[in-house]
Amino acid sequence: MFAIREVPQSSTGYSPFELLYGRHPRGLLDIAKETWEGQPTPFKSVIEHIDQMQDRITAVMPIVREHMEQAQEAQQRVYNRGARVHNFSPGDRVLVLIPTVESKFLAKWQGPFEILEKVGEVNYKVRQPGKRKPEQVYHINLIKPWKERMSLFTKPTLSLRAEPLVPEVKVADSLSDTKRKEVQTFVIKNRDVFSETPGRTSLVKHDIITEPGVRVNVKPYRVPEARREAISQEVKKMLELGVIEESHSDWSSPIVLIPKPDGSWRFCNDFRKLNTVSKFDAYPMPRVDELIERLGTARYLTTLDLTKGYWQIPLTNQAKEKTAFSTPEGLFQYVVLPFGLHGAPATFQRTMDQILRPHRQYAAAYLDDVVIHSSDWQSHLPWVQAVLDYIRMAGLTANPKKCSIGLEEAKYLGYNIGRGLVKPQLNKVQAIQDWPRPVTKKQVRAFLGITGYYRRFIANFATIAVPLTDLTKRTKSIVIKWNSEAEQAFQTLKKPYAANQY
């Protein structure tokens, strides 16, 4: 700063700048003097320089823009030489490129899904049943037309137009050909609801309420080596469906494998410890006897079984970590409502009651079993359509292989109902007839349970069952002492089914 000063020093008669560089500086005072006296200068100010630069840019921009457009057109011709324009209409079936469960950086074509509407120039809204979001907007580059596979032996003379995919919904054999065609068209129209992939509702989220500071961490049960493959396959399947996710929770419940009649294994969670520390939901379940009375006089019945019912109810974020379970594959937690929680039935029943509230006159549900009843065919399908519309809006799906439409007699909640009659199912009757003599309190309770379920067919059931009920008292031993009174009650409760009038 000292070197550029231009003020002469009284001792030398020169400024510090002149002493250092040997010439007179052009400083602020000189600029002020030149401006004041109006003397011309070969130098330009910053403002003048910027002014001239803007003028040059304004003059050259049209030339730059013209060259840029020419270059972009040339690049566009090269880039789009193999491109094909795709236009989709509402109702078209398409495949969508969606990230996989294993990694969001890996994607695969999934579907078929249905186009709902065009959103903007290059985006489409797609209906994707079974996904977390039943409707999603995708860019056109992520969509391609879906083409149904044709048979390798199709004759050339046949039309190559793919037939609509018809879900495997059971149609009553008693219906006329005209009515059966109506039902087939009806099923095709609602094929998005009839899906084996569980949906995901947005109406409700299940929460598990526990006391602050409480944790459940149960040591996992030992798993035999021969069953590890079954666990691995089930975990992989649930990951692909988005039912579970990897967990870092400090909660943990064990898993158990229950054998099925076909020899395979059922994957179950032991949530007993979790249930003991979580708040109970006392929402009432429908009375089966009242429900059956309503359906007995129906002329037509349609039954719907929701696909993996509980898995269509999402969990809250704080509830997810509480459902964590240990496997040989690691620690996982549920994203949706698992089986085995004592609050699960109440949440699911409350949701179904909310969905079917506008249709209580002709529809009812016991958990995931929905039934629609009517006295004439003219009103039946419209009522079924109304129920399916609300199920669709709720984001739920129904398993087509377990649904039946237009039945005169249907199996529902252990009964055969319809044609003005209510009867127990034959396999249940046979089970009662073949029931062996109980030897433990647990076996007595099981017999009283199945016969009590059909107590409407046995007059004075409670009085007859007293000798058997006494055997289940707390004061009695686990291995019961069978007596003549118990034998008489046992045979009397079997007697109404012995004539095989059902």
Nearest Cα to Cα of residue 193 among 399, 405, 500, 477: 399
Query: Residue 12's pLDDT is what?
Result: 75
CATH number, domain containing residue 141: 2.30.30
Tell me how crowded residue 221 is: count the other CB atoms within 10 A of its CB.
Answer: 11
Contact present, 301 and 417 (Cβ < 8 Å): yes
429 and 414 both lie in a single domain? no
**Backbone angle region of 120, left / alpha / beta, with phi > 0 → left and psi within -120 to 50 → alpha:** left
Residue 151 lies in a domain: no
Locate 57 and state its tokens. Answer: 């840019």
Query: Residue 1's pLDDT is what?
Result: 52
Residue 107 lies in a domain: yes
Residues in contact with 355: Cβ distance below 8 Å, sequence separation at least 6, in sequence order: 203, 365, 390, 391, 394, 396
Residue 282 lies in a domain: yes
Question: In whole angstroms, what is the distance from residue 338 CA to residue 325 CA?
Answer: 11
CATH number, domain containing residue 496: 3.30.70
Question: Among 28, 55, 82, which residue terminates a domain?
Answer: 82
Contact present, 86 and 98 (Cβ < 8 Å): no
Question: In whole angstroms, what is the distance from residue 452 CA to residue 432 CA?
Answer: 11
Question: In whole angstroms, what is the distance from residue 305 CA to residue 463 CA?
Answer: 37
> Could you give the C-alpha distances from 206 to 131, 202, 226, 281, 364, in angstroms and in order?
18, 11, 35, 11, 22
Locate 196 and state its tokens. Answer: 């084996």
247 and 268 both lie in a single domain? yes
The secondary element (H helix, E strand) that includes residue 56 is: helix 46-79
187 and 103 both lie in a single domain? no
> Omega into 112 within 30° of 0, i.e. cis?
yes
393 and 362 both lie in a single domain? yes
Query: Residue 38's pLDDT is what?
Result: 66
289 and 201 both lie in a single domain? yes
Residue 124 lies in a domain: yes
Query: Residue 501's pLDDT is what?
Result: 52
102 and 78 both lie in a single domain? no
Residue 156 lies in a domain: no
Residue 375 lies in a domain: yes
Query: Residue 163's pLDDT is what?
Result: 37
Question: Among 396, 422, 448, which residue terminates a domain?
Answer: 422
391 and 249 both lie in a single domain? yes
Number of domains observed in the structure of the chain: 4
Question: Among 30, 64, 82, which residue terminates a domain?
Answer: 82
351 and 203 both lie in a single domain? yes
468 and 403 both lie in a single domain? no
Query: Residue 164's pLDDT is what?
Result: 43
CATH number, domain containing residue 290: 3.10.10.10
497 and 400 both lie in a single domain? no
10 and 21 both lie in a single domain? yes
> Mean pLDDT in runs of 10 for the chain (502 residues)?
64 77 73 69 75 88 90 85 78 84 75 86 84 84 76 37 63 88 90 90 91 90 84 90 91 88 82 93 86 80 91 92 91 92 92 92 90 90 92 92 88 79 82 87 89 84 88 84 88 69 52
Residue 162 lies in a domain: no
The parent domain of residue 240 ranges over 170-422
Residue 314 lies in a domain: yes
192 and 261 both lie in a single domain? yes
